[in-house]
Amino acid sequence: MRLAGAIAAAVLLIAASSVGAAEIAAAERRSGYSFMTPDTRAIQDDDTANPGMLFVLDGESLWKQKTGAADKACADCHGDARGSMKGVAARYPAFDTQLGRPVNLTQRINLCRAEHQQATPLAYESRDLLALSAFVAQQSRGIAIAGGSDPPLEPFIAKGRELFMQRQGQLNLGCANCHDDNWDKHLAGSAITQAQPTGYPLYRLEWQSLGSLQRRLRSCMIGMRAQPYDYGAPELVNLELYLMSRAKGMPIETPAVRP
């Protein structure tokens, strides 16, 4: 009896610390784009009005620019990004066999810089890193997300899912409280949305800049009054990976615009 009581208590504890959320059905998934006003959609739809395209243009010139001790440009190995980078962003974060863990697109760019260009890594959220990742990701525009298909990624997706369901911070909220359970509602006038990572790096009008998915995740954690993980932390990469596997099949929109 006592044992059964302890088990029941433990089950209750687990239920209290994670969110008992109903996950979004495949047919009900919607990009953040569909929650926006027609005005904001118009900015994203027109490549000459979308300020994210300014970063893509910068990224294109960085792609061809020789750098580092090896004096090599991205284009020297990868050639024309229109062909070689097509679909790449749709399958990141990807498993790195040397590191034994998943890396996201910006980390891959920095690994490439270190190994092949012998250049210093670019800082997270620096203009150059955002520009390069936007240029690479834009080559996958319209391609279905295929994140998390690699079998070694499975335990990391599970960890990311756990973090998504985990209550945290002074407000004691989990990501799923808003983005699985209440995505059809509003929070202080703003649409809550489903947290589908289809357009990153994306231009937020509020930021007046392009920003990565990790910047978005950290902002959400600060909003929950939790201590955000550092840029590049494995926890954030796992969360990115879970979100990409959750959005599997949705088309990439990079560079998206959000309010």
Residues labelled as active-site residues: 220
Question: Interface mask (CB under 8 A) for other proteins, residues 79-118, using x and -?
Answer: ----------------------------------------
Q: Closest distance between other proteins and the C-beta of residue 64, in Å?
A: 13
Task: Identify residue 137 by its one-letter amino acid code.
Answer: A
Euclidean distance between CA atoms 18 and 14, whole angstroms: 6
Q: Closest distance between other proteins and the C-beta of residue 81, in Å?
A: 17
Q: Closest distance between other proteins and the C-beta of residue 259, in Å?
A: 12
Euclidean distance between CA atoms 208 and 215, whole angstroms: 13
Euclidean distance between CA atoms 64 and 60, whole angstroms: 7
Q: Given the complex with other proteins, which of 75 and 146 has the nearer CB atom?
A: 75
Q: Closest distance between other proteins and the C-beta of residue 205, in Å?
A: 7
Q: Are 80 and 96 in contact (CB under 8 A)?
A: no
Q: Given the complex with other proteins, which of 61 and 120 has the nearer CB atom?
A: 61
User: Pick from 72, 127, 141, 167: which binds other proteins (CB under 8 A)?
Assistant: 127
Residues 6 or more apart whose Cβ sits within 8 Å of residue 230 = none
Q: Which of residues 46-65 bind other proteins (CB under 8 A)?
A: 46-49, 51, 53-54, 57-58, 61
Q: Given the complex with other proteins, which of 58 and 253 has the nearer CB atom?
A: 58
Q: Are 225 and 172 in contact (CB under 8 A)?
A: no
Q: Closest distance between other proteins and the C-beta of residue 211, in Å?
A: 13
Q: Are 56 and 131 in contact (CB under 8 A)?
A: yes
Q: Are 163 and 183 in contact (CB under 8 A)?
A: no
Euclidean distance between CA atoms 30 and 26, whole angstroms: 9
Q: Which H or E element spans position 112?
A: helix 105-112
Q: Given the complex with other proteins, which of 43 and 163 has the nearer CB atom?
A: 43
Euclidean distance between CA atoms 156 and 110, whole angstroms: 21
As given in the structure block, the two tokens for residue 43 are 């900015």
Judged by CB under 8 A, the stretch of 16-24, 31-39, 43-51, 74-82 that binds other proteins is 43-51
Q: Given the complex with other proteins, which of 60 and 240 has the nearer CB atom?
A: 60
The pair phi, psi for residue 163, each rounded to 5°, is -65, -35
Q: Which of residues 190-219 bind other proteins (CB under 8 A)?
A: 205, 208-209
Q: Which H or E element spans position 164?
A: helix 154-165
Judged by CB under 8 A, the stretch of 40-48, 175-183, 219-227, 249-257 that binds other proteins is 40-48
Binding site residues, other proteins, CB under 8 A = 43, 46-49, 51, 53-54, 57-58, 61, 127, 205, 208-209
